[in-house]
A = this chain, B = another copy of it.
Amino acid sequence: MLKGHLDAIVLAALEAGPAHGYAIIEAIKRNSTNTFDLAEGTVYPALHRLEAAGLLSSAWMTPPGGRRRRLYSLTKAGSTALSDRRKAWGRFSQAVDALLGGGHAWPA
């Protein structure tokens, strides 16, 4: 369903500040008005992949009277990557718009 843009979305979700996996899933769902209701099996492996790539770092956190969570943060490389991904998305969506629009500009 996401096909190639998951990384950008996850990185963007962490731009506002560190967060844990479950919260990221809910933020993505909320901010996309339910368009992206991602399975945990989609997001967790992505987080692991992004961390392995050095774009995220993580640390265990246990809030008082709360449960153990893994907090993810954007690394410097992650910020750079996000910026690149944003540009790539801009080019991509513009090109698809141009191709699908085909002259008769589909409704705004």
Contacts and interface: CB of A to CB of B under 8 A. Distances in A.
Interface of A: 1, 3-5, 8-9, 12-13, 15-16, 28, 31-33, 35-36, 85-86, 89-100, 102, 106-107
25 contacts: A1-B4, A3-B3, A3-B4, A3-B5, A4-B4, A8-B96, A9-B96, A9-B99, A12-B99, A12-B100, A13-B99, A15-B102, A28-B99, A31-B99, A32-B96, A32-B98, A35-B94, A36-B99, A86-B106, A89-B96, A90-B106, A90-B107, A93-B93, A93-B96, A93-B97
Secondary structure at chain A's binding surface: helix, strand, loop or mixed?
Answer: helix
A25 to B, nearest CB: 12
